[in-house]
Amino acid sequence: MNRNIKLILQLSIIITVLFLSLLDVSKANPNIQNSIVKIYTTQTNPDYDNPWNTYRPESVSGTGCVISDNRILTNAHVVSNQTFIQVQSHGRPKRYNARVVAVSHETDLALITVDDLSFFQNLRALEIGELPEMQQEVIVYGFPIGGDTLSTTSGVISRIELQTYVHSGFKFLAAQIDAAVNPGNSGGPVMIGDQIVGVAMQSLSDSENIGYIVPTPVIKHFLDDLEDGHLDGFPEDGTFVQNMENPGLRSKYGLGDEQTGILVNAVFPGSPATGKIFPEDVILSIDGHKIAGDGTIANGPTGRIDLNHLIQMHQIGENQKMEILRDGEIKQVEFNLTKAVGYFNLVDRDQYDKPPTYFIYGGLVFMPLTTNYLKTWGKDWKEDVPSYLLAKLYDYPSSEGEEVVILTNVFPASVNVGYHEYSEIIITAVNGNDIQNLKDLIKEIEKGRGQPFITFTDRDGNKIVLDRNQAEKELEGILEAYKIPSDRSLPSD
C-alpha cells in the first residue's frame, strides 16, 4: 500500500478543525473511559509495482474498546497488513503486545486481544446497543493525533443509509454523525450512555465534521458470524436488478396500481438465486418487506433504506424469501444464501493481510488485475489508469474463478527483445488456449513443454512469442540481475 492509499484509509487528514475545541468532557461517561484502548500498529504494506517486495514498515495508531471475552473491537484498517501490535488502556503507562483475532475487511471491523490477561484487570467490557435513532446525541471516544490523552467529541446522528466503506469499496449500512472524527479516532467506540452504538470509521473529504460510523447491526452481524469460530462474511444473492419507477416499465411487466418492485435483468451463474429467480422477474418483497420502485424498503424511524441491507443482514447459510411477479402470476421463492460479498466482482477490491500474486516467465511479469494494482497510479488513479483497465473494475465474471490477467511490465533480457516497453497488457490466451486466470496461464505454459515457443495473446489479438528453451535458460539470470527472490508468489491459503 503506498502513501496515497494510507491517506485515503485514514480519511481524516483533510479535517483541520481543532479537536480540543470540540471536547465535551462533561458528557463523557467516566465509568467507561478505562475501557478505551489506544492501539499502536506497525504496518508493512505490499508493493504492487514490485509484488515480491514490501514498503518500509510504518507506524500508525488508532482506538479500540474492550468488549466481551477479553476482546478489543476496532477498525480493520487500524490493524491491516500488521506485523506488530501493542495496546495501552486509558490512564495506564504500560503497553501490551496484542494479536488479531478476526478481521472483516469488507465492513472495516476487527477484533484483537492480549494474551497477558493482566491487561484486562479492572477493565469493563462494554455492551453493544441498538441502532441509534435520527437526531440522537452520541459521544465519540478516541485518541486523535495531537496528543496522548483520551479525547471525546459529541454530535448527533444525522443520516442512516448504505454508504461506501472506503477501506473495502463495498456498500454497507452506515450512520453519519456531525462529531469530529480525526486521525487516530478510527476504531473508537461511539456511545449513547454506556452502550456502543457504532465504531468511528471515516470522515467525508472536503467537509467539516461529517463522519461515518459502523453501526450496531453491522457490528452484531460480524460478532454473530464469529460464534462458530469461522468468519464467513456478508452474503450476496447474485441478482442484478433495476428500479421500476417509470409508468411504461411498470405497465409492461404487469404491475398493478398498488404493486411496487424491482426488475431482475440478470442472475449470475452459480449464484444462490440460480434456478429460483430469472431475468424479467419482478421482485415484490424480500422476507416480507415490500420493495418500492426505487429499490428501497421502509426502515422504521430512519425512513427508507436500500434493499441490499436486508440481504446483508442474513448470515451466510441462511435462507432468503422473495415474493416475485412472473408472467403476471405472484410466486413465493426461497433459496439459501451461500456466496459472500465480493464473489461477483471480476476485479478484486482492496486486498489486505496477504502478499500480491504474480508470475514471471521470460522476464515478463504477470499479475491478476486488482484494485490494489490500479491504485499504484496514485491519488487520482481513476483519472490516470488506462480506460480499458478501469472498465474491468465494473465488469462481472462470466464464470467462477475468472479474473483479468495482465502483463504489468518486462525485465529486459535477450529472450524478450522487442517487448521491453510492454506494460498493462491484458492477456487472454496462451498457446492458442483461452485462460480464465493466472493459474490457467501457468498451467498452459507448463503443459506446453516440448513445444519450441510460448505464445501469449492479448485482448486485441496481438502475439508475444518467446523461445521456450531460451526463456528457461535465462530465468535464473533474470531473477538474479533484478534482485527477485522467486519467479512466482507463494500459494495463498
- Do 313 and 381 share a structural domain? no
Average pLDDT score over residue span 76-95:
95
Average pLDDT score over residue span 194-213:
85
Least confident of 296-305, 325-334, 345-354: 296-305
- Cα 87–chain centre separation: 25
- Cα 216–chain centre separation: 18
pLDDT at position 367 over 80: yes
Least confident of 7-16, 113-122, 471-480: 7-16
- Do 176 and 214 share a structural domain? yes
Among residues 186, 203, 271, 285, the one annotated as catalytic is 186
- Do 140 and 36 share a structural domain? yes
pLDDT tens per residue, range 284-323: 999 999 999 999 998 876 678 999 999 999 999 999 999 9
CATH number for the domain spanning 130: value is: 2.40.10.120
pLDDT at position 492 over 90: no
pLDDT value at residue 205:
66
Say if 488 falls within a structural domain.
no
- Do 373 and 313 share a structural domain? no
Is residue 225 part of the annotated active site? The answer reads: no
pLDDT band of residue 253 (cuts 50, 70, 90) is very high
- Do 178 and 67 share a structural domain? yes
Average pLDDT score over residue span 108-129:
96
pLDDT at position 11 over 80: no
- Do 261 and 138 share a structural domain? no
pLDDT at position 358 over 50: yes
Question: Distance (Å, rounded) from C-alpha 2 to C-alpha 48?
Answer: 9
Among residues 12, 35, 108, 281, the one annotated as catalytic is 108
pLDDT value at residue 294:
95
pLDDT value at residue 435:
97
pLDDT value at residue 57:
96
**Which set of grid coordinates corresponds to residue 240?**
442484478
How many distinct structural domains can be found in the chain? 3
Domain termination site, one of 197, 228, 259: 228
Domain termination site, one of 340, 375, 408: 340
Question: Distance (Å, rounded) from C-alpha 267 to C-alpha 471?
Answer: 43
pLDDT value at residue 12:
41
- Do 190 and 264 share a structural domain? no
pLDDT at position 119 over 90: yes
pLDDT value at residue 207:
61
Residues 318 and 336: beta-carbon distance below 8 Å = yes
pLDDT value at residue 27:
57
pLDDT value at residue 274:
94
pLDDT at position 14 over 80: no
Among residues 35, 61, 77, 281, the one annotated as catalytic is 77
- Do 124 and 78 share a structural domain? yes
pLDDT value at residue 481:
97
Residues 376 and 71: beta-carbon distance below 8 Å = no
Domain termination site, one of 228, 247, 263: 228
Domain that holds residue 283: 235-340
Say if 347 falls within a structural domain.
no
Say if 20 falls within a structural domain.
yes
Say if 70 falls within a structural domain.
yes
pLDDT at position 3 over 50: no
Is residue 380 part of the annotated active site? The answer reads: no
Is residue 167 part of the annotated active site? The answer reads: no
pLDDT value at residue 305:
92
- Do 157 and 136 share a structural domain? yes
- Do 266 and 154 share a structural domain? no
Ranked by mean pLDDT, which of 22-26, 141-145, 370-374 comes out on top? 370-374
pTM of the model: 0.89
Say if 350 falls within a structural domain.
no
pLDDT tens per residue, range 43-83: 999 999 999 999 999 999 999 999 999 999 999 999 999 99
Say if 8 falls within a structural domain.
yes
Residues 99 and 10: beta-carbon distance below 8 Å = no
**Which set of grid coordinates corresponds to residue 401?**
474463478
Q: How many percent of the chain have pLDDT more than 90?
A: 79
- Do 270 and 203 share a structural domain? no
CATH number for the domain spanning 439: value is: 3.20.190.20
Say if 348 falls within a structural domain.
no
Say if 486 falls within a structural domain.
no
- Do 216 and 98 share a structural domain? yes
pLDDT tens per residue, range 180-202: 677 778 999 999 999 999 999 98
